[in-house]
């Protein structure tokens, strides 16, 4: 394909869209052409949402989830139990947990899992911040809900080793979610049961 | 999930992304969270590309493809043969044809296919504009390359009926592309052979 066949403005959008996860060149072209066929107002609305995103969202200084307020809606909710902290990999996992509707504690977002091959060690994810939360004595239970994938399990095991001398109860999301499944894709009933039957690690 | 758990700015982006074809709620949330995790500059770049899109791109007044210039790069190219016009459904099909690298004529973009159930009749797509292009006598061959789907074939048959009294040769993209496949997804070699062996309709 001669490069000038694709208008530069369209090509720029296609290149930008291919940076998103799971969007290849053909999908990006299909999305870009679809956006082009629809009213300019819709493209501008999407552009506005993208422009406003980072400006209005920050990390909660307590649990490190994405939030427009600090503390976030969950950390600031007096009905939720601050003595119970659920550790998840990413904010998307928090959303999946909330969907199950049975968890009433706080969260801690690691922003990743241990992946030594990719250069992600304990200092690259928010583990020191989790330890710091335990010093005040408010937290009584750390409920580890990393995914049941190989890196998720490795991260859980590392956390159990590192936190076992702390005066907190360590629990782990129960069996119920199939091995190898990312918790974001678990259905809410399976996830609800797994939350209710979470088990002590020692 | 309690609605305030998702920050409004993130929720707005998720809602906007679900308007795109093939993007459901989970995919939109995954994309939005990924954009949020990456530098704000990348979101702004994508927003800029979206904002500039409709402003810099118009329809070529001859072939109706999306272009930053009028005539477009293809219609304005003196090396291409204006006596041969390839009729496709959408600009994405033009890109697929160009990728095959064997077609050296002009194009005509219908911007749709006949779909009576959806209220899309001959006046909703650029058929009158195609007829108007035939009055100057420059065009000697109309090469119909709609997809081999049911609406694509119906549109081709309608065009053949409507144009058969015109003093032009009517041809159709050859067998070679599997039935039911959208030409955007055909590999370039199959498409190249189908272009070379295009057949006369009568």
Q: What is the pLDDT, as a whole number, of residue B197?
A: 60
User: Distance from A194 to chain B by nearest Cα, in Å?
Assistant: 17
Q: What is the pLDDT, as a whole number, of residue A84?
A: 93
Tens digits of residue pLDDT in B93-133: 898 888 877 888 999 999 999 998 889 999 999 999 999 99
Q: What is the pLDDT, as a whole number, of residue A1?
A: 42
Q: Same domain for A179 and A109?
A: yes
* Residue percentage of chain B with pLDDT more than 70: 85
Of A17, A23, A50, A20, residue with least CA distance to A36: A17
Q: Same domain for B85 and B133?
A: yes
- B100 in a structural domain: yes
Report the C-alpha gap between A6 and B94 in whole angstroms. 10
A120: contact with B, CB 8 A cutoff: no
Identify the CATH number of the domain in which residue B47 sits. 1.10.8.420
User: Distance from A103 to chain B by nearest Cα, in Å?
Assistant: 11
Report the C-alpha gap between A155 and B143 in whole angstroms. 60
B79: contact with A, CB 8 A cutoff: no
Of A166, A182, A193, residue with least CA distance to A92: A182
Q: Same domain for B52 and B80?
A: no
Q: What's chain B's average pLDDT?
A: 87
Number of domains in chain B: 2
Q: Same domain for B102 and B133?
A: yes
Among A56, A78, A94, residue at a domain's last position: A56
- A61 in a structural domain: no
Q: Low-confidence residues of chain A, pLDDT below 70?
A: 1-4, 174-184, 189-190, 193-194, 196-202
Q: Same domain for A79 and A142?
A: yes
Q: Same domain for B160 and B91?
A: yes
Instruction: List CB contacts (< 8 A) between B4 and chain A.
Output: 73
Using CA of residue B22, residue B27, residue B31, residue B36, what is the dihedral sign?
positive
Among A56, A83, A98, residue at a domain's last position: A56
- B25 in a structural domain: yes
Q: What is the pLDDT, as a whole number, of residue A150?
A: 82
Q: What is the pLDDT, as a whole number, of residue A103?
A: 86
Q: What is the mean pLDDT of residues B26-39?
A: 92
To test the contact with chain A by mutation, choose from B53, B69, B126 the residue with the greatest count of A C-beta atoms within 10 A, namely B53
Q: Same domain for A42 and A100?
A: no
Q: What is the pLDDT, as a whole number, of residue B88?
A: 93
Identify the CATH number of the domain in which residue A188 sits. 3.40.1360.10
Tens digits of residue pLDDT in A136-165: 999 999 999 888 778 888 999 999 999 999
- Beta strand extents in chain A (DSSP E only): 58-59, 66-67, 81-88, 105-109, 141-144, 169-172, 199-200
Task: Find the domain containing A186 and state its range.
Answer: 66-200
Q: Same domain for B11 and B74?
A: no
Instruction: List CB contacts (< 8 A) between A33 and chain B.
Output: 66, 90-92
Instruction: List CB contacts (< 8 A) between B58 and chain A.
Output: none
Tell me the pLDDT band of B153, cut-offs 50, 70 and 90. Answer: confident
Backbone φ and ψ of B133, nearest 5°: -70, -20
- B61 in a structural domain: no
Q: Same domain for A77 and A49?
A: no
Q: What is the mean pLDDT of residues B143-163?
A: 89
Q: What is the pLDDT, as a whole number, of residue A20?
A: 94
Contact at CB, A34 and B16, closer than 8 angstroms: no
């Amino acid at each position: 394909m001669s490069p000038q066949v694709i208008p530069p403005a369209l090509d720029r959008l296609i290149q930008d869209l291919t940076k998103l996860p799971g969007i290849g060149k053909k999908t990006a072209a299909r999305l870009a052409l679809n956006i082009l066929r629809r009213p300019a107002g819709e493209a501008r609305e999407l552009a506005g949402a993208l422009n406003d995103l980072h400006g209005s969202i920050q990390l909660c200084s307590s649990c490190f989830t994405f939030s427009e307020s600090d503390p976030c809606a969950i950390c600031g909710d007096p009905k939720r139990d601050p003595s119970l902290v659920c550790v998840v990999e990413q904010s998307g996992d928090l959303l999946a947990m909330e969907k199950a509707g049975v968890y009433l504690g706080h969260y801690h977002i690691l922003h990743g899992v241990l992946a030594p091959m990719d250069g992600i060690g304990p200092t690259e994810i928010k583990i020191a911040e989790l330890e710091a939360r335990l010093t005040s004595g408010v937290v009584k239970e750390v409920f580890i809900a990393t995914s049941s994938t190989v890196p998720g399990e490795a991260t859980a095991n590392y956390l159990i080793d590192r936190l076992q001398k702390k005066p907190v109860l360590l629990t782990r999301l129960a069996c119920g979610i199939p091995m190898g499944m990312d918790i974001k894709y678990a259905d809410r009933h399976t996830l609800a049961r797994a939350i209710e039957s979470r088990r002590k690690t020692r």
